[in-house]
Structure 1
Amino acid sequence: MNFTQSFKLAIKSLLLSKMRALLTMLGIIIGVAAVIIITSLGNGMQNYMNAQFEQLGSNLIQVMVYGRGEGGTRDVSTEDMYALVEKYPQYLSGVTPYVSATAKVRQGTEDFDRTSIYGVSEAFYRADTQKTMQGSSLENGRFLRYIDVERHQNVCVIGSYLAENAFRTDPLGQTISVSGVPYMVVGVLAESGDSTEGSVDDVIYIPYANAQRLGGGYGDMYLMTSTDRDTASAAKGIIENRLFKTYQSSDYYMVMTSAEMMDAMDSMLNTLMMILILIAAISLLVGGIGIMNIMLVSVTERTREIGIRKALGARESAIMRQFVIEAATTSSLGGVLGIALGFGLSAAATVVIANVMPDTPITVSPSIAVVLIAFGVSAGIGIAFGYLPAKKAAVLNPIDALRYD
């Protein structure tokens, strides 16, 4: 009996007991579909996050200073960071303090308790890209200027949420209270999130010295830019050398480029995906055990058939091949159904995400590589778990098999 005949016999056996075959394949179907939807969702999230990082620019560098070093006497000031940019213009193109402040925000009689307040310099808005260092663009007005920062003027730039909910008319030129101090609105940022309370659009930017007086942040944070992507690594080294010279230990600061942040996020996401895939793979293991169980039952049910074939001269290898092909066909068919289910769930997930989070364009689309791997694994499971029943069938004594009732 050649491969084609064995395959046709396997299909015929599955069609004779459709419900039993479906239940046998159920573990494989669920496992393959779960693996596909998890990897597809992970890839969609990864592509979305990479796109967000690309908006920030590949030359962004975050610097976080945690303390004052041994004895608490060493420190790096804002002027030192500005001086570093001036000293290495071939590597560093800009710097701004990034101060997170805590204060009560009020407009008229309404309080905005979840509004984020950040202190920055005029360098936070990049003239070359017409966006902030975090990828937001201006919708109306202007951003903070050098004179605003230098004179500690009470001016601010607000997010779209505050523009829509704190003011009934155009907010430009009007004031909003920050810790009881009126700040005049000079600019409004375009919507970059979902423009809800507490979102990235619920934000106020003020001169960094003003934010430092408000307090509330931990440590000092700076956003810096290298001249281009190729100099980002060298720029990071310059910053780290300057900080190490002051603190004499790398425990008091952290310097990270946007490329490193992207790699770190990708690594975390890949680790999470691997854990979820391993959990989903339990279904594949259960499905393999189910196939082994049903094949053992099939061998018992077809004992007389096996005895007749062996009496007619069938070799052990031919009988073994027949049952292995039958097990592989069962699991492969389950894999195909699982792939179809995975595609369906991926399409449904894309629609759900688009409706629930319209500002988060995540496309859940299975890759060809994942589909091929999923099919290969499902077929491999059938072969691996079908070997023991096939071996049992192949070694049956033809006389005992013919006498089996």
Structure 2
Amino acid sequence: MGPLKTLAIATKALAKNKMRAALTVLGVVIGIAAVTTMVSIGQSASALVQGELESFGTNVMIIFPGESKKGGVRSGRVNTLTSDDARAISDECSLIQASSPLVGTGGQVVYGNLNISPNEMFGVGPDYLKVRNWPVEYGSFFDQSQIDKADKVCVIGHTLVNKLFQTSDPLDQTVRINNKPFRVVGILEKKGANMMGEDQDSVILMPYTSVRRTLNGSSFDDVHVVFASAKSSAQVEAAKAEVTQLLLDRHSIDKEVDADFDIKTTNEIADMLGMITGTMTLMLASIAGISLLVGGVGIMNIMLVSVTERTREIGIRMAVGARSRDILMQFLVESILLSCVGGLIGFALGISASIGITTLINSFSTGTDWPIIVSIPAAIVAFLFAAAVGAFFGFYPARRASKLDPIDALRYE
């Protein structure tokens, strides 16, 4: 008996019990839909993380002060980085295109009778925006001469513009930061919310010397963090090694294991977050895949019932010349056909669910734009796995049908 004939007979047999066939494939439908949805949402989250890191700045490395060590013995966490370190990184490292120190602070920004506490209040160097790939939309950024003089100037984000100045022009206006006057010289380009929903435009940047002396009341040269960017993504690791050696020399440290600083690159952060999202996606997809196995058990159960109900039919087919392998193929094709139909329905539901859930997340999260990604490869793999599940769990009932004795089958009531 040819394959097309076998397929036609299997389709006709399943069509006789439409409700039972529909309930049988339900587990496969749920499994395929769940796997497709979980993998798609996971890839969407991964793409969102990548986009956030790209918006943070390209080829960026962040240098943190570490624990002071001598001979491998820790002596406590101290501020080990200075603005001179940041300047030396920019001047002496051939693979670095720009660097900037960063000094953090906090407090109220007041204009007239309005005030706001920005999410970020930083003192930075003149190349900070170059490192962060964040342009000024209006006005200008402060330069090295203003930093050297510790001028009380600032550049603000759009949230501060909207809440403090509303319809008036903020450029050259004076705001009070912790009761100290600062003149607004620029407005940053709008960034929106990050993937955590935090407003990136609620920011004010000032010369790090002004923050350190005027707001923090410190006469020391230490800084909280140093930002630097490599000249290209291919040179990030080499640039990191170059910066590491420079700081070891400047801090009179012989061994890297004793370094009193720690350098993280956006590539390393991206790899770490990618591993986390990838592991979570795989775990969720594996859990969802269990429902495919449950669906396979359901198919085997129904096929065994079908063999019992159609025992006389099997006996008649054998009596008129059907071979054991014809019977085997008939029931095996029925099982695979059930799985494949369930896979196609699950594939469509998975795509719809992926789009729907992503749209729902975007509608409830402020400013966060999750990309809509449908994982076609994952759906195809899940579909093939569903077909394999149908073949695996359908083989035993099919073999049992093919091994029936024709005489006993004809006598079966």
TM-score by length of 1: 0.88
Aligned residue for 1:176, secondary structure, equals strand
Opposite residue 91 of structure 2, the aligned amino acid is E
Tell me the equivalent position of 1:274.
282
Point out the more displaced range, 241-250 or 117-126: 241-250
Deviation, 1:197, is 9.7
Report whether the alignment pairs 1:395 with 2:413: no
Aligned residue for 2:373, secondary structure, equals coil
Report whether the alignment pairs 1:254 with 2:262: yes
Residues 330 and 382 of structure 1 are in contact (CA less than 8 Å); yes or no, is this contact kept in structure 2? Answer: yes
Aligned residue for 2:288, secondary structure, equals helix
Q: How does 1:209-224 map to 2 (within 5 A)?
A: 209-212=209-212, 214=215, 220-224=224-228
Counterpart-to-counterpart distance in 1, 2:393 and 2:61 = 52
Residues 80 and 260 of structure 2 are in contact (CA less than 8 Å); yes or no, is this contact kept in structure 1? Answer: no
Tell me the equivalent position of 1:348.
356
Opposite residue 36 of structure 1, the aligned amino acid is T
TM-score by length of 2: 0.86
Tell me the equivalent position of 2:328.
320
Deviation, 1:354, is 5.5
Query: CA distance change for structure 1 residues 134 and 93 in 2, over 3 Å: closer, same or farther?
Result: closer
Residues 79 and 223 of structure 2 are in contact (CA less than 8 Å); yes or no, is this contact kept in structure 1? Answer: no
Q: 2:239 aligns with which of 231, 235, 238?
A: 235
Q: How does 1:3-402 map to 2 (within 5 A)?
A: 3-70=3-70, 71=75, 75-88=80-93, 90-113=94-117, 115-126=119-130, 133-168=131-166, 169-194=168-193, 199-212=199-212, 214=215, 220-244=224-248, 246=251, 248=255, 249=257, 252-349=260-357, 351-352=359-360, 355-356=363-364, 359-402=367-410
Point out the more displaced range, 55-64 or 266-275: 55-64
Opposite residue 37 of structure 2, the aligned amino acid is I
- What is the RMSD of the two structures over their aligned residues, measured on CA atoms? 2.9
Opposite residue 341 of structure 2, the aligned amino acid is L
Deviation, 1:351, is 4.3
**CA offset digits 1:299-324 (Å, max 9, x no partner):** 11112222222334433322222111
Counterpart-to-counterpart distance in 2, 1:311 and 1:173 = 99
Residues 157 and 189 of structure 1 are in contact (CA less than 8 Å); yes or no, is this contact kept in structure 2? Answer: yes
Query: CA distance change for structure 1 residues 329 and 251 in 2, over 3 Å: closer, same or farther?
Result: farther
Counterpart-to-counterpart distance in 1, 2:186 and 2:79 = 37
Query: CA distance change for structure 1 residues 352 and 197 in 2, over 3 Å: closer, same or farther?
Result: closer
Residues 43 and 364 of structure 1 are in contact (CA less than 8 Å); yes or no, is this contact kept in structure 2? Answer: no
Aligned residue for 1:224, secondary structure, equals strand
**CA offset digits 1:32-75 (Å, max 9, x no partner):** 11222222233333334434444455432221223333435893
Provide structure 2 residue ranges, at least 5 long, that are not aligned to the other structure. Answer: none
Residues 157 and 185 of structure 1 are in contact (CA less than 8 Å); yes or no, is this contact kept in structure 2? Answer: yes
**CA offset digits 1:146-205 (Å, max 9, x no partner):** 122222222111110110011131111222232222222111112211599951111111
Moved over 6 A (4+): none
Count of aligned pairs between the two proteins: 397
Point out the more displaced range, 374-383 or 309-318: 309-318
Opposite residue 89 of structure 2, the aligned amino acid is L
Counterpart-to-counterpart distance in 2, 1:173 and 1:65 = 35
Residues 147 and 209 of structure 2 are in contact (CA less than 8 Å); yes or no, is this contact kept in structure 1? Answer: yes
Residues 89 and 99 of structure 2 are in contact (CA less than 8 Å); yes or no, is this contact kept in structure 1? Answer: no
Opposite residue 185 of structure 2, the aligned amino acid is V
